[in-house]
A and B are shown apart, each in its own frame.
Chain A
Amino acid sequence: MGQEIKKSLDLHGVVCPLNFVKTKLALETLNSGEWLEVILDEGDAMLNVPRSLKEEGHRIVKVTPLGQTYSVIVEKGA
């Protein structure tokens, strides 16, 4: 893949909306265009966090299933 992952965050077991809040805080430490990896639970987390990220102007780059969780790579928006 094109870029290195600047930061990784394991949000397995973290419920909505805290998982999104933590993702947002982690993104704040990055520069725009840089990548963050978050591990999200299947179900509600995967339904809500990506959508909220989109609404905030960030972009999902890649999603990879890991059993009952997913690795989600996010590119920080402008």
Chain B
Amino acid sequence: MAQSNLDLVALKKVGMIQQKQKDFFALRLHAVGGDFTAEQLRKIAEVSEKYGRGQIHVSTRQGMEIHFVHFSQLEKARLELEEAGIAMGACGPRVRIVVACPGESTCRWGIIDTKKIARYLDQAYFRQDTPHKFKMGVTGCPHNCAKATENDLGVMGGILPGWKRENCTGCDLCVSSCPVGAIAQVDGEYRLDESKCIYCSICTSNCPTDAWYPAKKGYILWIGGTMGKVPRLGTKLKKLIDSEDELYETIEKVIRYYQQHGRKRERFGHMIERLGEDKVKEDLLDGSGDQKKP
């Protein structure tokens, strides 16, 4: 049968995965931050009924897969989806679809525009070849709903709190509600220990008189997170990054660094373990913001 002529590796590149029922494939679809329009969902449903068995699977990373598409129908199904503006996803050793939480557009805790960043990352890197799979996640704040720390690269929104003495009434709420005990009161002064602070904005949101205020808004970059057989949580690359340009420059460095130094089928986090966290941080931050400070 014609099936033996199928180039499985090429198919994987565009998100078509052979099922254990070898004549059938799962069509993995492209998505950014798990957003689809009603119209797209109708089209996906239609294609799944026409070329598959009407069975759609929602992946653990906000993607959609149409299951049980016979190999003879693959091209037709793909064309029909693409005509409706639904691109194919990716699998194999390359950059996968970008996940994101709702972020500042709808969530009351959101600090950054997660969807905008996810779209940027998608346009800049989706489907690029990497030593092993490469996953990115964007989460609006340190509540970390989109699990930035379990992605190879995670972007998280954060704020650095500042304190205005003249507003403070000394209620002690901040000392009691900071989840990591980063605020202490000394002689009527409330002080932040930045080395403990996780930039979560709970103090600035809760303070009854806005004595704590967001002195700086920015991004926390996590690298080398992975689940799988040998899980590892991401490493925080540096303190709060406050410019979008610097964020994107740093991400560019990170991905090129992995492409250069990663061994074949070695996840980024495992590469970091092999080279040593300190060495990787040093290489990546060389000449950037953190280093300029005295």
Contact = CB atoms under 8 A, between A and B. Distances in A.
Contacts of A61: 169, 171
Given A54-B208, A59-B208, A47 B177 contact: yes
Given A54-B208, A59-B208, A63-B176, A47 B171 contact: no
Interface residues of A, number: 14
Contact of B171 (A46, A51, A63, A65): A63
Interface in A30-78: 46-47, 50-51, 54, 59-65, 70, 72
B202 A63 contact: no
Contacts of A70: 176
B188 interface: no
A70 B175 CA distance: 12
Contacts of A54: 205-206, 208
A5 B91 CA distance: 62
Contacts of A47: 177, 179, 202, 206
A64 B172 contact: yes
A44 to B, nearest CB: 10
Interface residues of B, number: 13
Contacts of B175: 63
Contacts of B41: none
A64 B173 CA distance: 8
Nearest to B143: A47
Contacts, number: 36
A73 to B, nearest CB: 8
A65 B173 CA distance: 10
Nearest to B174: A63
Contacts of B177: 46-47, 50, 63
B208 A60 contact: yes
Interface in B177-228: 177, 179, 202, 205-206, 208-209
A3 to B, nearest CB: 13
A51 B176 contact: no
Interface in B148-178: 169, 171-173, 175-177
A77 B175 CA distance: 23
A59 B173 CA distance: 11
A51 B177 CA distance: 10
Nearest to B200: A47
A24 to B, nearest CB: 16
Nearest to B175: A63
A50 B171 CA distance: 12
A61 B177 CA distance: 14
Contacts of A46: 176-177
Interface centre among A50, A61, A62 (most CB of B within 10 A): A50
B172 A62 contact: yes
Interface string B105-121: 00000000000000000
Interface of B: 169, 171-173, 175-177, 179, 202, 205-206, 208-209
9 contacts: A47-B202, A50-B208, A51-B202, A54-B208, A60-B173, A60-B208, A61-B169, A61-B171, A63-B175
Top 9 A-B pairs, shortest CB-CB distance: A63-B173, A63-B176, A60-B208, A63-B172, A59-B208, A50-B206, A46-B177, A60-B173, A51-B206
Given A47-B177, A54-B205, A70-B176, 15 more contacts: A47-B202, A50-B173, A50-B177, A51-B202, A51-B205, A51-B206, A59-B208, A59-B209, A60-B171, A60-B173, A60-B208, A61-B169, A63-B172, A63-B176, A65-B176
